[in-house]
Amino acid sequence: MLWKTHGVDPLRKPLAALLSLLITLSVLPVASASAEPAEGPALRELYSAPVSSDGRTSLDAVVESEAGAAKAVMRLRSEGQDEPYLTFEDLTLSGGTRQYGTWRASPVQLRQGRTYVDVELTDVSGARTSIPSAGFVDFPVTRFELSQPVSPADGTAKAFGAKVNVLHTIGVSRVTAQLYKYLSNEKVGGEVAMSADKTTDMGGGYTSTHFVSADNAFDPAPGYYEYVVTARDDKGDAVSRRSLKIHRGIATSLTDLKATPDWFDADHQRPTVTITGRLVDADGHPRAGHKITAEGTDASTTTAEDGTFSIETTTDTGRIDVTAATSGDYLTTTAQVRLTARDIATRVSARASVTNARIGDPVTVSGTLERQTATGWAPLAGQKVRLIFQGMGGACTQPWAYPVTDEQGRYSLTSTVGCEGDWQVDFEGARFYSPSGNRVRVHAAYGTAVTDVKASPSPAPFGGRFSLTGRVARVNVPVGLAQVSGGDVHLWFSRDGKKWSSVSTAKTGRDGRFTFTPNASYDGYWRVDYAGTYANMPSYNPDRPSSSRPVFVDVRYRTAISSFNASPEPVTRGRTLTVKGKITKFTGTWRPGAGAAVVIYFQAKGSKTWKAVATVKADRNGWFAKGFKASADGTWMASYAGSAAYLGSKSAGDYVDVR
C-alpha cells in the first residue's frame, strides 16, 4: 500500500476529504548530473486513491518547485524487476500551480504483489530530480504510513529532535531521520536513529508505533531546515516523509518593560499608555533595527542602537502583548505588559415571588444591582444581569435571560416553574466593575399516582407466576408530561394487608406502564410503590412518591387431567364405550386428585356444543372411569371445575368413530 509522505497543506485539504490516503513514499530527491548546480523540483507527497478489489487506483505526486515544474514522469516496477510494467511519461497537473501542485497518473492497474514507483521531475529551466523507488504499493493492500513529523513551532533557539507515528500492518525494521537545508538536497549532519517509545494496537490488524530521536539530535547553525523521516518495512523497503519548515534561530528577549500609566478603572476605561523597554539577545547585547508592535493595534516602532524603544497605544483589557519581529537569524519574541484594573465592588440581590410552587405556576425573580461608593452603596443602572435557572440535577432548563437594570438598579424576569431548582443571578463585572452574584431557590414538584393495577390470571396458580401490571402517571399536568418513563417502581406483598415485605423492583416503560411477574405462593395483597425521583438522587426530577391501592390475589393449587382415553376405537354401535383418565393436583409436588368430581362431556360430530353426560369421582389414585353405550360419532372430554382451593382443568379431546 502506498502512503503519503508530507504534511497537510492548503492544497491537500480538499483531497484529504475525498481520499483515504494509502501511500507513504520516499521524498528525498536525487539530483541528476545534468541538474547541477540548480536544484530540481522537490517531491513533497506521493499518495494513491483507495485500491479497488481488482487493483485499480490512481497516483498523485505533490511537487514543489521555485522555478515551476514542467514535467512529471512515473514508472511502476514489480518487485525484483528493473523494467517498468506501466509508464506515465507526461502526468497531468490536476490541481494547484506549477510552483506547488498535484500531478496525477490515472488510471493505474496494479499487478499482484509489491509495486515500486520511480518518479522523475523536471522544471522549466531543465533542472531534473530523479527519485528511484519513491514509494511502493501492495496489492492485495497493506498499510505502512508515516504521520506528519513534528516540527518545533514558531522557530527554536535550541537543539531539537524528531518524532513521528508509523501506522502499519506489516513489520517496521528501522526508522531514521536526516536533517536538510530547507528546499535543498544538502544534508546537515548524519543520519539519526529513532527508537519506538510507544506501541498501540489499533484493532483490525493495525498497529500504531511512535518513534522518537534524542531531544537534541539536531543542533545546526541558524537558518531554515527540514528533516526527513525514513521508515523501512520488514522487507527493507523505505517510505519517507518531510517535516514542515524549521527555523533555527537566535533567541531574543524583551526586558525592562514598563507601562505608563500602569492602571485603569471605570472612569478611565481606555487609557492611552506609553510602553518602554529594551530588546537584547541571549547574551544581553542590544538589538537595533527590530520592528516592535503592540498586538491587536496599528502601533509599531523600531529599536534604537541600544535596543530601547517607546511605543504608544490604548487598551481596554488591562493587557498588552508586545512583539519583536523575526529579523534575519533572530527569532520573534513576545512579552506581556499588564495594567492593574481598579475594579469597583458590586452586589446584586435576588428574590422570588413564590418559593414553594406547583410546576406550571408563574414566578417572578427580581432584585437590585448596586455599586460601592465612598459613602456606601448606590444603584448601578443600564447594566445587564444574567439569570440562569439550574434545575436540581439538571432536571429541566430555561433559556438564559439578560434583563437590564433600570435607573434604580432594579431588574426582574417572569417565567414558568418547570421543576425545583435555583435561579442564579450574576453580574459579570462588565466595564471595570467587579462581578457579583446571588441565588434564590424555588421548590416545586409533580404529584404522581400508581393506577390501573391488575393481576392476571386471577385466581393465580400455586407455584407458577402471574402478571401484575399498572401505570405511573403525573397528575394535573399536560398530556405530554403525564407519562413517568424510566421511573423506579417497587413491588410489595402482605398476607394480611398490614405487614409488608419487599419482592422486586422494575422501571416504567416509555408510556409509564410496568409489569411484574411474581411467584404465586400465598393468598394475599400486592402493592406497587413509585419511589419518586427524590428517592434516586442525584437525578432530582421533581416527582413525589406514590403507592397503588392493595390488590388481593387468590392463589389456588393447579390440577391436570392426563392419560385421558375413550375406547375402544372404533366401536360398534350399541356396544359399551369406556371413558377414563387421571386427575392430579400440584401442592408442591404432583399428587393424585382423590375424590375430585370430574364431568364427562360429549360433542357429537358436526356439533359445536359440548354436553355434560356424566359426573364421576376420582379414586384414591386419581383415576376415574365411566362406561357409555356407543350411539354416535363424536369427541369425548373430561373437565374438573375446580374449588376454593384448586384451579379447574380440562383434558384433551378424544374422537371416537362409531360403526
Q: Could you tell me the CATH number of the domain that includes residue 257? A: 2.60.40.10
On whether both 642 and 565 belong to a single domain, the answer is: yes
What is the predicted pLDDT for the residue at 541? Answer: 59
On whether both 433 and 462 belong to a single domain, the answer is: no
On whether both 455 and 538 belong to a single domain, the answer is: yes
On whether both 512 and 630 belong to a single domain, the answer is: no
C-alpha cell at 370: 448596586
**Which has the higher per-residue pLDDT, 467 or 46?**
467
- Any bridge partners for residue 583, and if so which? 561
**Which has the higher per-residue pLDDT, 160 or 358?**
160
Burial 100-117 (b: 16+ CB within 10 A, else e): bbbbbbeebebeeebbbb
What tens digit of pLDDT does each residue of 69-122 get?
999 999 999 999 999 999 999 999 999 999 999 999 999 999 999 999 999 999
Please provide residue 521's backbone torsions phi and psi, each rounded to the nearest 5 degrees.
-120, -35
What is the predicted pLDDT for the residue at 82? Answer: 93
Residue labelled with grid coordinates 514507483: 117
User: The whole model's pTM is what?
Assistant: 0.48
On whether both 177 and 151 belong to a single domain, the answer is: yes
Please provide residue 299's backbone torsions phi and psi, each rounded to the nearest 5 degrees.
-70, 135
Q: What is the mean pLDDT of residues 270-296?
A: 92
Residue 26 has pLDDT above 70, yes or no: no
Number of domain units in the chain: 6
C-alpha 351 chain-centroid distance: 40
Among 510, 540, 555, where does a domain finish?
Answer: 555
User: In angstroms, what CA-CA distances link 87 with 72, 90, 92, 115?
Assistant: 11, 9, 13, 12
What CATH number does residue 649 fall under? 2.60.40.730
What is the predicted pLDDT for the residue at 18? Answer: 31
Residue labelled with grid coordinates 523600531: 302
What tens digit of pLDDT does each residue of 474-501 get?
887 777 778 899 999 999 999 999 999 9
What is the predicted pLDDT for the residue at 225? Answer: 94
Among 342, 362, 395, where does a domain finish?
Answer: 342
- CA–CA dist 278, 381 (Å, integer): 44
Confidence of residue 20 (pLDDT cuts 50, 70, 90): very low
Contact 592, 618 (CB under 8 A): yes
| 516: in domain | yes
Could you list the residue range(s) of the whole structural domain that residue 477 is in? 447-555
Closest CA to 94 of 11, 10, 7, 4: 11
| 3: in domain | no
What tens digit of pLDDT does each residue of 646-659 get?
999 999 999 999 99
- β-pairing, 467-475 vs 447-456, is antiparallel
What is the predicted pLDDT for the residue at 221? Answer: 95
Give the SS3 label for residue 142.
coil
Residue type, 478: P
On whether both 546 and 472 belong to a single domain, the answer is: yes
What is the predicted pLDDT for the residue at 595? Answer: 95
Residue labelled with grid coordinates 481596554: 316
**Which has the higher per-residue pLDDT, 33 or 107?**
107
Q: What is the mean pLDDT of residues 333-357?
A: 91
What is the predicted pLDDT for the residue at 414? Answer: 96
| 306: in domain | yes
On whether both 237 and 317 belong to a single domain, the answer is: no
On whether both 118 and 172 belong to a single domain, the answer is: no
Contact 441, 390 (CB under 8 A): no
On whether both 431 and 474 belong to a single domain, the answer is: no
Q: Which element (helix H / strand E) includes 18? A: helix 12-18
On whether both 469 and 551 belong to a single domain, the answer is: yes
Among 231, 248, 265, where does a domain finish?
Answer: 248
Confidence of residue 339 (pLDDT cuts 50, 70, 90): confident
| 63: in domain | yes
Q: Which element (helix H / strand E) includes 348? A: strand 346-348
What is the predicted pLDDT for the residue at 374? Answer: 82
| 236: in domain | yes
What tens digit of pLDDT does each residue of 231-271 get?
999 999 988 888 999 999 999 999 999 999 998 877 777 88
Q: What is the mean pLDDT of residues 376-381?
A: 94
On whether both 364 and 260 belong to a single domain, the answer is: no
Confidence of residue 4 (pLDDT cuts 50, 70, 90): very low
What is the predicted pLDDT for the residue at 22? Answer: 39
What tens digit of pLDDT does each residue of 201-218 get?
999 899 999 999 999 999
On whether both 126 and 31 belong to a single domain, the answer is: yes
Contact 69, 129 (CB under 8 A): no
What is the predicted pLDDT for the residue at 359? Answer: 77
Question: Mean pLDDT for the chain?
Answer: 89
